[in-house]
Structure 1
């Protein structure tokens, strides 16, 4: 029987990475799970096995370039040549910029941006000589438009966007068959809002609309198999953010200044004892397996017409135009 592809997913112990690893496993792929949290990795590997794939959990901090290279070597020794590499690992801080310490900002950048650079470098080292492979960068609407209270994360996502565009041009120049694409995320129901470092008075939450992690997981799997596309959008907020920022950046600044603080906080006060995964994983051996879903199941949707339109090229323009018109109209009304 033909074996599936060899896939590497960073940040695979929880959230979107966990859902993507499971989605690849359902296809029969052999999936290497890279993350820091060993308890989360063990549970994710068990899920992947139950889904029909083979799993290799590899504890690694993606901010460490040498560790990522060693992990890639271990994957190929175990499963064979890597076909797909998905960069998804990240960390963040919810706080105004002036309340983020320099070493905290540096750590977010090291994981969320340089972790992608490290993963991409390890993947290209193996893919370029074979002249095949796909790299999927899990991005965000915040790669195009920064919002308050997430300056470190927004800066890292902007950096990933620029880095990926530069790399894509170089691969095209070299006529390489290695492809790189980005999947831009909306607000997603993941555990991150209960384990990132937060200095907000109330519990952090994603900006609505909120999507279940299985939606971006499907987009990631699709992008890995159709990686000639430069970008996939998940959720209407991504398209609306992109276009509104291009058409009316000053208006969007004022709108986000007025609404961005409250939109990212729930009504409940923040638990002062909640775990913080900036330096130590919250799902390590002494921690908890958080799974793919966060605490927003009742608010999250499991469908994305925008993703469907993004996957069907001929309908993308019409869908985007509709979303743009609606988004700009809403901003104008709230000005």
Structure 2
């Protein structure tokens, strides 16, 4: 049996999942890496081993429950009982809702929402009998606030939020010592803007401010160590977005209607981008994309805020109300 924890990370081949897997490896953990792209998985495994951790690469499409269940069984067979399961994997389409095809919407939902359900089922079926373990759901400010051009992704993140809250209540009712927590992320500089399917006229970009994936990774590692908090918010922009949505959602609708389309495009022509919806971009004939995207010069490192308590939340909302009213005068 290994002396360190056994961690499973989905979407571990690139982006936030890659950075989180590397951060766990730096702590000497045993990390099972789940993703479709074999080039990315191999790169992540090499990084973990270089950091002193143990890596197990398991090519997995999280949209297929049988593959996820098989990955969980292999993890426990080769590394030991799973202590932490981190759900990160997703895919999406950058497009107006009217331009997304039904089969694409279904696929995004199967990967980006049902992938979390499948991972949680596989983890919980092992953790619940042992009455221990932690599940970390990597969410987004978009779990609370939908934005244009990302309806499928926003829908999946909203669904994860509701599903996780429901499950948390069930675990509390059972007095279970299995913990489930969420990490809500801001815009992050990952390869998704290079490899997601896009039908935009201009190249897609994160909505500023943009954070580096290592910021998200630190939050995930922290949440795994301190799962009693129901949520963690990464970056001040996430907290501001969630609070603004709570104070004046209609106002935010109008603001995003005016600014949300242009702010997600660079102004440069959109290159041909078939995307990774059906096949991984880092398949055998592709290359390893790593954790970072194209926006290193604009990305920053930020902090992690535990979700505000009811008292502090009320104070923050009161302070924000004045700013929301001022925005309303400008954008209505």
Q: For the structure 1 residues 207 and 327, does the alpha-carbon distance in structure 2 shift closer, same or farther, using more than 3 Å as the test? A: farther
SS of equivalent residue, structure 2 residue 282 = coil
| CA distance in structure 1 between the aligned counterparts of 2:255 and 2:66, rounded to whole angstroms | 43
User: Is residue 228 of structure 1 aligned with residue 228 of structure 2?
Assistant: yes
User: Is residue 135 of structure 1 aligned with residue 130 of structure 2?
Assistant: no
The aligned residue for residue 187 of structure 1 is 187
Contact map agreement 1:275 1:282 (CA 8 A) in 2? no
After the TM superposition, which of the residue ranges 9-18 and 295-304 deviates more from structure 2? 295-304
Contact map agreement 1:187 1:209 (CA 8 A) in 2? yes
SS of equivalent residue, structure 2 residue 306 = helix
SS of equivalent residue, structure 2 residue 110 = helix
RMSD between superposed Cα atoms in Å = 2.2
Q: For the structure 1 residues 44 and 155, does the alpha-carbon distance in structure 2 shift closer, same or farther, using more than 3 Å as the test? A: same
User: Is residue 20 of structure 1 aligned with residue 20 of structure 2?
Assistant: yes
The normalised TM-score by structure 1 is: 0.94
SS of equivalent residue, structure 2 residue 260 = helix
Aligned length: 331
The one of 306, 313, 324 aligned to 1:310: 306
SS of equivalent residue, structure 2 residue 47 = helix
Contact map agreement 1:137 1:180 (CA 8 A) in 2? yes
Q: Displacement, 1:3?
A: 2.2
The aligned residue for residue 266 of structure 1 is 266
Q: Displacement, 1:333?
A: 6.1
Q: Displacement, 1:146?
A: 0.4
Segments ≥4 residues shifted beyond 6 Å: 311-316
| CA distance in structure 2 between the aligned counterparts of 1:324 and 1:62, rounded to whole angstroms | 39
Q: Displacement, 1:329?
A: 6.4
The aligned residue for residue 67 of structure 2 is 67
Q: Displacement, 1:303?
A: 2.6
Q: Displacement, 1:236?
A: 1.7
Contact map agreement 2:30 2:53 (CA 8 A) in 1? yes
Q: Displacement, 1:239?
A: 1.3
SS of equivalent residue, structure 1 residue 219 = helix
Q: Displacement, 1:331?
A: 3.3
The aligned residue for residue 177 of structure 1 is 177
| CA distance in structure 1 between the aligned counterparts of 2:43 and 2:74, rounded to whole angstroms | 20
Contact map agreement 1:255 1:334 (CA 8 A) in 2? no
SS of equivalent residue, structure 2 residue 285 = coil
| CA distance in structure 2 between the aligned counterparts of 1:78 and 1:322, rounded to whole angstroms | 52
Q: For the structure 1 residues 289 and 141, does the alpha-carbon distance in structure 2 shift closer, same or farther, using more than 3 Å as the test? A: same
Aligned pairs (5 A) from 1:1-335: 3-272=3-272, 274-304=273-303, 307=304, 309-310=305-306, 324=320, 328=324, 331-332=327-328, 334-335=330-331
SS of equivalent residue, structure 2 residue 232 = strand
| CA distance in structure 2 between the aligned counterparts of 1:155 and 1:25, rounded to whole angstroms | 32
SS of equivalent residue, structure 1 residue 139 = strand
The normalised TM-score by structure 2 is: 0.95
Contact map agreement 2:88 2:138 (CA 8 A) in 1? yes
Contact map agreement 2:128 2:176 (CA 8 A) in 1? yes
- Alignment gaps of 5+ in structure 1: none
Q: For the structure 1 residues 175 and 149, does the alpha-carbon distance in structure 2 shift closer, same or farther, using more than 3 Å as the test? A: same
SS of equivalent residue, structure 2 residue 261 = helix
Q: Displacement, 1:313?
A: 7.9
Q: For the structure 1 residues 255 and 125, does the alpha-carbon distance in structure 2 shift closer, same or farther, using more than 3 Å as the test? A: same
| CA distance in structure 2 between the aligned counterparts of 1:334 and 1:235, rounded to whole angstroms | 25
SS of equivalent residue, structure 2 residue 299 = coil
Contact map agreement 1:310 1:316 (CA 8 A) in 2? no
